[in-house]
Structure 1
Amino acid sequence: MATATDPGQLGSAKAAAVRLFLGADPFKGLTAFAASTRPRHNVVGVGIGRKVSRNKVTGTRSIRIYVEKKVSERSIPPEFVIPKRIAGVVTDVVETGRFVALAVPVAQRRLRPFKGGCSVGFQFTGSQAGFVMAGTLGALVTDTGGKRYALSNNHVLANENALAIGSAIFQPGLLDNGDPAKDQIAVLSRFVEIKPMSTENKVDAAIAELTKPSLGRATILPKVGKLASTAPIPAVEQMKVHKHGRTTGYTTGVVFDVAADVKVGYDFGDALFTDQIIIVGTTGSFSNSGDSGSLIVDRTSRRATGLLFAGSASHTIANHISDVLSGLGVTLA
């Protein structure tokens, strides 16, 4: 008999919840049901984890339903009430707010050589000319040919798929008073395309080749320190992590979920990301706007585990760093 700890039952229940609430089948890519037939308007993600009851983590494995806001069952129509169980597995409703990509404020200085955790960004062109932005440069990476690249998110380096390959990348980002005439450090080289809601995404990631290899320092993050190894470590629930980002600087947190499917807001609209890491801050928020691209590191092993790209006021979303590196064909430097 299947139990609540049976990975097969948990996976099937999660897939059913994704179809019901997010309108996509992570295994078959089926067309979404009609919007009026499911309570999806308030749901922003689906994951797997131990149920939280009265602010305490229990031993019961559950399907987590992440919502913008918790509301009383009495105040919503019966058809919009989240069921107590899905495919035989208990549900746990977690309020997170809406997840959005985190590129943007707070000044960061020019660093030469630069290192992870600093301000980086592109220059808007065309109808967007005059706007400025900044995100976080996560790490230095290399390819099999030995070329050196800055690693961050697609929406930080490639303007959500819109920037041309070869475009200039600046440190600091222009929002942080970067000067296009003297602060170019790299050119956009590769990015993993972000696809809209009808298709799944695994990563929001891009790399930019350094104009001079000496401009960047191997991955040493302020307060986080030097990585113990360039090999990543898989994220697990309750893993203690830390990061350094351009907005919130050094923060610590705990991994809350490692297999969440989440809906993330971008300028072009929403996108669905599957099997993502969710992190909660140890004291206060783990991240804020402008921290996108931060490398997330396991505090125990001192190895990279995630790449921050989105979040809400209370929860941070990250790609598994192994998916990022394989998707771009690079390794940590």
Structure 2
Amino acid sequence: MPADSQIHVEVIRSAVAAEETAKVCRRPGATLGYWAIRGLGSPLRLLLHYLQVDFVDRRYVQGDYDAEVPYSRDAWLSEKHKLGLDFPNLPYWIENGNDERGRERRVRLTETLPIMRYLCRRYGERAERTDAAKAFRLGVDDAQVDMLANVSMDVRHAMSRCFYSSQNEQQAVHAYQEGIVPKLVLLESYCRRHQVAVRDEQAPPRPFLAGTQVSYVDLFLAETLDQLQACIPNALDAFPHLSQLRSHVWNLERVQQFLASELYIASPANNRVAFLGSSSQLPPPSKLPSLQLPRETVDGAHQAVAQSYRIGEG
């Protein structure tokens, strides 16, 4: 981030008084609200860092199993319906200020992808260095990028079902096989057909999903895949193109800066109520920090990928 960029992290651990919530609604500048985890918040934090946007990162903490109210969400619920949001949810984006003509600007948004698209439209051009990148604005006007973003969100939803709905290792492995693998296969096959992130000196360089320019979906998907790997370390073993795409994004200078900043949360990926990848102090087997897939499960994913390659080449 530039030296003059201003990021402030607020950690909310308990119910919030109404007057404090009112201040959040009125204060100048921008506020991102989400849980104090990676989840859907980390792709937004990454994008905001990439775009060099000043904002307050408001993080809500979920209680643990041994709290007076187990897994309490009071920190968030106490102000959920008091922030002026049309569809109250996390993440949210609140922005108060003036536009280029001095007119009042008041933005209240929820849902991850609409927030990402708004940020790219508003800040994408100023953050880039080349004319081509300025015109591209991280792909916000590209229908192909939007399609890939929605498919990538399907991966995120499948991950959430695996992490939060599973109650034991067997259920988590099944959720990976039946929910996550089919979504990853679709993206892996797309990358192969379009030569995305290939290791071939004879092929034209296409390091990112939309070509040579990084898009908001590259940031979203790379962070999502990294969370998947943090929770299931061998989850991407059968997906070479997606693994390479994640590496391409992770090696970008601004992404490296993000990973070294206070905005980046290495762990936990999920809230304490989750079976997999949370910071809950409830010991295994009730909660697992991570899960290693059986060899036969990884082999099955390899077979699904190979079949998709054959179909794509047929």
Pick the TM interval, shorter chain.
under 0.3
User: TM-score, normalized by length of structure 2?
Assistant: 0.23
- Greater strand share, 1 or 2? 1
- Greater helix share, 1 or 2? 2
